Structure 1
Amino acid sequence: MNKLIYLFGLLLIISCKESKEIDYSSVVLWEPYNDSSEAAANQEHEKSRMRFKLIQSRVSDKNESFRPLYHEVVKMPESEYEQLKPYILEQDIPTIQGHIKEGRLTYENLVRFFLYRIYHFELDSSTTLHTIIALNVNVVEEARELDNLISEDRHPIFGMPILLKDNIGAAGMNTTAGSIALKDNETEDAFIVEQLKKNKALILGKVNLSEWAYYMCNGCPLGYSAIGGQTLNPYGRGLYETGGSSSGSGTSMAANYAIGAVGTETSGSILSPSSQNSVVGLKPTIGLLSRTGIVPISSTLDTPGPMTRNVVDNAILLSAMTGKDKDDKKSVGTNEDYLNAVLNAGTLKGKRLGVFKDLLETDSIYKNTVNRLGKLGAIIFEFTEPEVSMDGFLTLLNIDMKNDLPEYLNANVQNKKEIPMRTLEEIVKFNLADSLLRIPYGQSIFDGILKDSTSLEELQLIKNRLEENGRLFFDTPMDKHQLDAILSINNYHAGYAAVAKYPALTIPMGYKETGEPISLTFISKQFQEPNLLKLGRAFETATNLRKPPKAYK
């Protein structure tokens, strides 16, 4: 039904496009559909958190997000879209920049190409991933300006359309964290968004996420938010989890909705959706990227990070966001040339890689991958993971969020009359006023935070102990065997990397017999991102395992 409405409107406007009197404000691009059967189909799913209660958002109207740019999308006929496909789809940034330099593309039709895909798939109830929350209404105009800008000294991110997880501040688009409580939250650009704009990246829009970065409810579906609805995995809508909490960042990359996306991670929230959607995700060392202007869980563990379809683009997006931020106490400056690191990646020969014995015994894809790495010249060291305690991990998140969220609300919310809440307790009360609409899966984690009475002194002891234990977990095998990296699966060891504040890079490793993606995750010590990216690029080049989802080619 939705596709028919969309195509009818498209044909109508194309037939009249010479007229200057077209009123786009009344075009119906999306009509809510009955999603009860879609939700019911998942009630027997083997994973309890995949048993959805609803699919669509009950509070957001997609027409409001999609109408403002509709007149730009209809300027691209299907024939032009098909003609541009080979130059854009699944291509890396240097290749696309080359096409633009040679005149095959412009930044304007690059943006319009991605908008075409978003409108085509997201406005059809049979293909929508409920991924896009908001679009930058000025993005096409901004692309035109870049086409006319004469400048030789350009960062590689110049003119590349980027999507942001909707807990990252961006002027002109609300920053909701997926929550009705923040539905109208107006903010300035987060520091990393300022850096992206400084380097002339194009902010295409905002994507869905697990509400409050998946730290609100226990056992609820990954990728659900009241604002965006239920994000779905393009490799199997309703079959496979999207991963969380950067669900929209992962699904949008898999479906080729932009060049890159920015996610955030506290513990696994970049690694998980990157793995589930067969894309490349980097969780950087804490402090490498600023957290200013991002809705927090934990100032101790939070970090943004790049999510892309290949390692080269990941390095470019990372470098475009770096910079010393005076407002983030953990922020560091860096002069690393991440792109040059991956372009000169070399081979895996002689690289010393640690692998988990238990994963070799339980996961055949991991085992086959390790064997393949050995044949490529890597030196493999098997080890049994050290036993370390993670006691206090949830307490760390609880007390950090209780303190960090009010700081964010006070510092970043511009329209304070529309967003009067200043504490987690006030948000909990707001949600309870209409629990069916605002918290259909409950808010048990929020309730637990309010009950947690751990003192700041006790919290500091917990933080110190967890960081020590997290580093012991990795350093024991790393130091013993002088490893370049430890290899994990998906987000299996994300918690240990989080408390150690170590970086982790996940790269497509293949697909299970069911078709569900699975990824290989490289973990190393602090600020070893150049080496991780080199290893990742060497692995990616040697294996070339990523396949785009069939329904979104």
Structure 2
Amino acid sequence: MKKALLVLLVGLLFSCKDSAKVDEKQQRIWEPYNDSLEVASNADHEKGRMRYKLIQSKVLDKNDVFLPLYDEVSKMTEKEYEFLKPLILEQNIFSIRKSIEGDLLTYEKLVLFYLYRIYKYELDNTTTLNTVIALNKDVIKQARALDEMMAKGTAPGARHPIYGMPILLKDNINTAGMRTTAGAIALMDNETEDAFIVQQLKKNGALILGKVNLSEWAYFLCSGCPVGYSAVGGQTLNPYGRRIFETGGSSSGSGTAIAANYAVAAVGTETSGSILSPSSQNSVVGLKPTIGLLSRTGIVPISSTLDTPGPMTKNTIDNGILLDAMTGFDEGDPKSTKEEYPGIISAGLHPTAFKNMRLGAFSSLMESDSMYSATIEKLRTLGATVIAFTPPEVNMDGFLSILNLDMKNDLPAYLAKHTNSEHVQIASIADAVAFNKEDTLTRIPYGQALFEGILTDSTTAQGLTDIKKRLENSGRTFFDTALEQHNLDAILSINNYHAGYAAVAKYPALTVPMGYKNSGEPISLTFIGKPYKEAALLRLGAAYEKEFPNRKMPEGYE
């Protein structure tokens, strides 16, 4: 009898354990769906690269991303969320800080508000933007700790404005506690320490909320493929028109997340247009800094010649704050500058007077784009001097070789220094190409033509040096002819139209919402200036933004 009872109890014990395991596995807050109808509806899209092959990721289970914080986030009620909206939604950092200091808001509630929005829209397959692909599991605890310090009076007295602000990072930026994938399956288990700019953000008190999707390998993998697609994250979608408008690339998740108010701000990266493009397409403010102002250490590279991270925000005030919070001299980056450039952090608060502006406008855009020409005329009526010009023709041949040869050298250097061979199987571009060929449908549904092009580029080391020097001269000639002849503060462009010239010139560029086309697609005005003139560009952008508050929240994400 005793023996039988013992057997029964043991059986029940193991049965309970098995049941617990089943319950744990069955706990799901998101279910994948059949995206074939959505794919089919895009089959005839006017833009060939928006004729998607898939929308959902084949490898990312959103339950893994969202379950760890679900219990905490689900405690926030809709009523509380609605109460917090006017304190947070579309507000700048100084306004949010004022609410915190006035005891109307806490750092914890700020984090929970953004998480609530992310869960609200990203777990609904009809509204998801496929943008947030990782969350910091400790972010609520970290926010709560800041509140406790405030209550005890032990919070730092001289706090950077970024202190306590939830920030999203493009998933090619190394972040401790979250994997850094660059959107590639080959890096899905890539665990790293913080990139230099992430160290700076944390040092200044920022809260890293999570990681966002991107065009895989920063859009240097496939040719003619959709922007915003990665094998890890799936197809990023534009909140102003899901599957209608492009997200821009490669910082697609950074642009779409800020457009939808998923965080205070986000960090993107650019080689040529990868901040300017998604910022413009998503009606947010994006700044591509001068090469060297921000460190690139710990960022998955394309080109050590042209790469830079940069801030993507809802307004120029936040843009300057985030940019300043990431600055600092990095001995590990040979392009990093020791010089300090004052005025960045407060630039958005001090707009340039229109009467003091001297700007250049492309004659060709004045003739071809009615919104651009109307904007130029409005600037003139406000007192700005705007001189139309035609830039000189310059030779841009060899641009692709810079990307090819740099990535061929820079990616192995990153992999050797920042990855663990136990978790990452590749050590070179050739390894990545071979790895992708093992499962083309999952790993490279759009092919890997650009990666294969890297392997076949026969440019010599001396040839590459000559190309870099020639193209830098070409880019600077393209802008300097007008800048210097007319003593201009900046050149005005549209979106990322002249991003390639700014890239090789290593000039900063700031894009600010200019309005919306008749279709509803966002369009932006871009200010391009001389090296290390970020503060000046932000003051110009702030003046424009104040007089022309063009940004509108996307419908359905208010």
- What is aligned with 1:404? 410
Distance in 2 separating the partners of 1:547 and 1:27: 37
2:327 matches 1:322? yes
TM-score (norm 1): 0.95
- 1:441 aligned partner, one-letter code: Y
Superposition deviation, residue 172 in structure 1: 0.5
SS at 2:49 equivalent: helix
Give CA deviations for 1:222-252 in whole Å, capped at 9, x if unaligned: 0000000000000000000000000000000
2:341–2:532 CA contact under 8 A, matched in 1: no
SS at 1:507 equivalent: strand
Distance in 1 separating the partners of 2:497 and 2:313: 20
Greater Rg by CA: 2
Superposition deviation, residue 483 in structure 1: 0.3
TM-score (norm 2): 0.94
More divergent stretch after superposition (347-356 vs 510-519): 347-356
SS at 2:38 equivalent: helix
CA RMSD in angstroms, aligned pairs only: 0.9
Distance in 2 separating the partners of 1:92 and 1:242: 23
Distance in 1 separating the partners of 2:191 and 2:354: 47
Distance in 2 separating the partners of 1:385 and 1:337: 30
Give CA deviations for 1:154-174 in whole Å, capped at 9, x if unaligned: 000000000000000000000
Distance in 1 separating the partners of 2:310 and 2:350: 22
2:317–2:346 CA contact under 8 A, matched in 1: no
SS at 2:354 equivalent: coil
- What is aligned with 1:388? 394
Structure 1 consecutive aligned stretches of length 4 or more whose deviation exceeds 6 Å: none
- What is aligned with 2:73? 73
Match of 1:464 among 459, 464, 469: 469
Distance in 2 separating the partners of 1:368 and 1:264: 31
- 1:473 aligned partner, one-letter code: F
Structure 2: 5+ residue runs without aligned partners?
1-22, 150-154
- What is aligned with 1:97? 97
Match of 1:184 among 165, 184, 189: 189
Superposition deviation, residue 26 in structure 1: 4.3
Give CA deviations for 1:197-244 in whole Å, capped at 9, x if unaligned: 000100000000000000001000000000000000000000000000
- What is aligned with 2:144? 144
More divergent stretch after superposition (297-306 vs 149-158): 149-158
Aligned residues: 530
Q: List aligned pairs for 1:4-23, cutoff 5 A.
A: none
- What is aligned with 1:515? 520
Distance in 2 separating the partners of 1:428 and 1:132: 27
- 2:506 aligned partner, one-letter code: K
SS at 2:380 equivalent: helix
2:297 matches 1:292? yes
- What is aligned with 1:32? 32
- What is aligned with 2:63? 63
2:542 matches 1:533? no
- 1:349 aligned partner, one-letter code: K
Superposition deviation, residue 335 in structure 1: 4.5
Give CA deviations for 1:89-144 in whole Å, capped at 9, x if unaligned: 00000000000000000000000000000000000000000001100000000001
Superposition deviation, residue 337 in structure 1: 3.0
2:443 matches 1:441? no
Match of 2:502 among 497, 500, 523: 497
Distance in 2 separating the partners of 1:349 and 1:230: 45
2:380–2:386 CA contact under 8 A, matched in 1: yes
- What is aligned with 1:18? none
More divergent stretch after superposition (150-159 vs 466-475): 150-159
1:24–1:71 CA contact under 8 A, matched in 2: no
Superposition deviation, residue 338 in structure 1: 1.2
SS at 2:145 equivalent: helix
Q: List aligned pairs for 1:69-218, cutoff 5 A.
A: 69-149=69-149, 150-218=155-223
- What is aligned with 1:379? 385
Distance in 2 separating the partners of 1:373 and 1:267: 28
- What is aligned with 1:6? none
Structure 1: 5+ residue runs without aligned partners?
1-22
Superposition deviation, residue 421 in structure 1: 1.0
- 2:49 aligned partner, one-letter code: R
Give CA deviations for 1:304-347 in whole Å, capped at 9, x if unaligned: 00000000000000000000000000001325231223212242
2:361 matches 1:351? no
1:223–1:243 CA contact under 8 A, matched in 2: yes
- 2:543 aligned partner, one-letter code: A
Superposition deviation, residue 418 in structure 1: 2.1
Superposition deviation, residue 365 in structure 1: 0.5
Distance in 2 separating the partners of 1:346 and 1:229: 42
2:511 matches 1:506? yes
Distance in 1 separating the partners of 2:545 and 2:78: 32
Give CA deviations for 1:235-286 in whole Å, capped at 9, x if unaligned: 0000000000000000000000000000000000000000000000000000
2:494–2:525 CA contact under 8 A, matched in 1: yes
2:317–2:347 CA contact under 8 A, matched in 1: no
